[in-house]
Amino acid sequence: MIHDSLIRERLVTGDKTAADVTRDISRPILNQPSSAWKIGFTLSLIFLGIFGVSLFWTVWTGIGVWNINKSVMWGWDITNFVFWVGIGHAGTLISAVLLLFRQKWRMSINRSAEAMTIFAVVCAAMFPVFHMGRVWVGYWALPLPNAFGSLWVNFNSPLLWDVFAISTYFSVSLLFWYIGMIPDIATIRDKVKTKTAKFWYNFFSMGWTGSTRSWARYELVSLILAGISTPLVLSVHTIVSADFATSVIPGWHTTIFPPYFVAGAIFSGFGMVATLLVVARKVMNYENYITIGHLEAMTKIIMVTGTLVGIAYLTEFFIAWYSVVEYEQYAFINRATGPYWWAYWSMMSCNLIAPQVFWFKWARTTPWFIFIMSIVVNVGMWFERFVIIVTSLHRDYLPSSWVMYSGSLTEVGLFLGTFGIFFTCFFLFAKFLPVINMSEVKTILRNRE
């Protein structure tokens, strides 16, 4: 017998039956793509093209086509890297941590959030790879045997930690996403008509039969993978923050970075999940699965993590003052009042002040407003990384090396282009794979025979 609370809102509304769920969720896969999908996909391909052109120009001509200079050697590239890695975090949090905490509201959003994680990590990986001056020997950063032509790597370097952190994160997320999808792929396999489609869905369902034994193993593997993924929620962005925290540059050299980055990552990740889902639920008519209750839960997380990040900003200021280190103090005063004040205050208002509107119930339950706020969050988090990277580097120890920096057209193109990668992947995902976990959602239906 299913427990049904009198006061809690239902996780799936509209009195859906299990058959309804299958029909609703496999509809986009079985039918021809809608015109909304076609328009969106075309736009994504255009942006993907922008990425291709910008990347070709960068690799063909040299990193000099960016505007980075002798003092600010990381600019938009690493800003975008941290931005995209951060976005990935919500997927892992939703799928792993909320699974362990038995939060059932995760069930209708985890599939798309995990997909978002994987695509975001792909976008992120573009930047540390292609910011290398000699990308064709980039594999030297892997610990390959010397006989391969490479030499052993430097385990002291946070960039090497990144290599391990990101690749682990990507492979575990991909595995988790895929394993979770097997029962649903099998459902699709049984419904598709064409021979090619049958072959591929059959191949990827790995002969899933839905026997009790299969289900028992599936549950166990999910739990194990959730256990493996949970530390990754904390570790990946901790290591990304170590790129900065282990350096000697004032504004980077701070011990608060790991928790601050993790909170920021979850904040930005939920921002992006909200952006995607508010649109997806409308366009794909999934309002009964991704309900206002789901959006409200996400806005609460956005508010909490946004406030955490805001407290971290203020703590940095306090510590800079408290440290009595002149360089630290200058770095922070320069952030807030120097030539990049606009970036700092964009960050402050988008990340700390704006999410406070979610104290109001209206703000938490109005989809169009949540959409606007989620964009604000994304913008704010991009500025956060820009502020950390560029304002710290542009004025560090010796005033003789103080410079200004602004992104070139190629750098902007690369950034916009990663949205092309991201949305191309996402549209393909929405066309060929079930965006909501059918088998799990069926377990939380009220209307079960």
Q: Which residue in 19, 9, 33 sits closest to 430, CA to CA?
A: 33
Q: Is 324 in the site for another protein (CB under 8 A)?
A: no
Residue 409 engages another protein in binding (rule: CB under 8 A):
no
Evaluate the CA torsion angle 82, 83, 85, 90 in order and state its sign.
Answer: positive
Compute the distance between CA of residue 173 and CA of residue 84 in angstroms, rounded to an integer: 15
Q: CB within 8 A of 195, min separation 6: which ones?
A: none
> Could you write out the DSSP letters of every residue in 97-124?
IHHHTT-GGGGGTHHHHHHHHHHHHHHH
Q: What's the min distance (Å) between Cβ of 239 and another protein?
A: 13
Near another protein by CB under 8 A, which window of 94-102, 155-163, 267-275, 349-357?
155-163
CB of 93 to another protein, least distance (A): 28
- Please report how close the Cβ of residue 160 comes to another protein at its closest, in angstroms: 4
Residue 149 carries which DSSP code?
T
Q: For another protein, give the closer residue by CB, 158 or 293.
A: 158
Of 316, 396, 411, 440, the one binding another protein by CB under 8 A: 396
Count how many Cα atoms sit within 13 Å of the Cα of residue 388 in the half-sphere of its side chain.
Answer: 29
d(CA 84, CA 187): 32
Supply the minimum distance, in Å, between the C-beta of residue 51 and another protein.
20
Q: Which of residues 365-394 bind another protein (CB under 8 A)?
A: 393
DSSP per-residue string spanning 10-69: PSS-S---HHHHHHHHHHHHHSPPPHHHHHHHHHHHHHHHHHHHHHHHHHHH-GGGS---
What's the closest the beta carbon of residue 232 comes to another protein, in angstroms?
21
**Among 159, 179, 283, 357, contact with another protein (rule: CB under 8 A):** 159
- Minimum Å distance from CB 309 to another protein? 23
Cβ contacts of 326 within 8 Å, gap of 6 or more: none
Q: Does 73 bind another protein (CB under 8 A)?
A: yes
Taking CB under 8 A as the criterion, the residue among 67, 214, 222, 307 binding another protein is: 67
Residues 6+ apart with CB under 8 A from 388: 244, 251, 252
249 binds another protein (CB under 8 A): yes
Quote the least distance from Cβ 245 to another protein, whole Å. Answer: 12
Site for another protein in 2-61 (CB under 8 A): 61
Q: Is 62 in the site for another protein (CB under 8 A)?
A: yes
CA-CA distance, 343 to 331, in Å (whole number)? 14
3-state secondary structure of 295: helix
Select 246 or 307, whichever has its Cβ closest to another protein: 246
Nearer to another protein, 330 or 415 (CB): 330
Minimum distance from residue 405 beta carbon to another protein (Å): 8
Stretch that binds another protein, among 81-89, 130-138, 260-268, 340-348 (CB under 8 A): 130-138
Q: Is 403 in the site for another protein (CB under 8 A)?
A: yes
Binding mask 134-153 for another protein (x = CB under 8 A): xx-xx-xx---------xxx
Residue 132 touches another protein, criterion: CB under 8 A: yes
DSSP 229-290: HHHHHHHHHHHHHHHHHTS-STTT--TTHHHHHHHHHHHHHHHHHHHHHHHHHHHTT-TTTS
Binder of another protein out of 259, 401, 428, 431 (CB under 8 A): 401
Q: Smallest distance, Å, CB 258 to another protein?
A: 17
Identify whether the C-beta of residue 201 lies closer than 8 Å to the C-beta of residue 192: yes
The pair of structure tokens assigned to 56 is: 């070709």
> Is 437 in a helix, a strand, or coil?
coil
CB 300 within 8 A of CB 358: yes
Q: Does 160 bind another protein (CB under 8 A)?
A: yes
**Nearer to another protein (CB atom), residue 187 or residue 392:** 392
Q: Which is nearer to another protein, 132 or 428 (CB)?
A: 132
What 3-state DSSP class applies to 150? coil
**Count of positions on this chain that bind another protein (CB under 8 A):** 45
Of positions 156, 194, 211, 212, contacts another protein by CB under 8 A: 156
Question: Which position among 248, 361, 368, 449 is part of the footprint of another protein (CB under 8 A)?
Answer: 248
Asked whether the beta carbons of 61 and 191 are under 8 A apart, the reply is no
Minimum distance of another protein from residue 120's CB (angstroms): 22
Q: What is the DSSP letter of 9?
A: P
For 285-316, letters b (16+ CB in 10 Å) and e give ebebbbbbbbbbbbbebbbbbbbbbbebbeeb
| Binding test (CB under 8 A) with another protein, winner from 35, 154, 194, 211 | 154
**Closest CB to another protein among residues 315, 401:** 401
The residues that touch another protein, with contacts defined as CB under 8 A, are 61-64, 67-71, 73-74, 128, 131-135, 137-138, 140-141, 151-154, 156-160, 163, 243, 246-249, 393, 396-401, 403-404
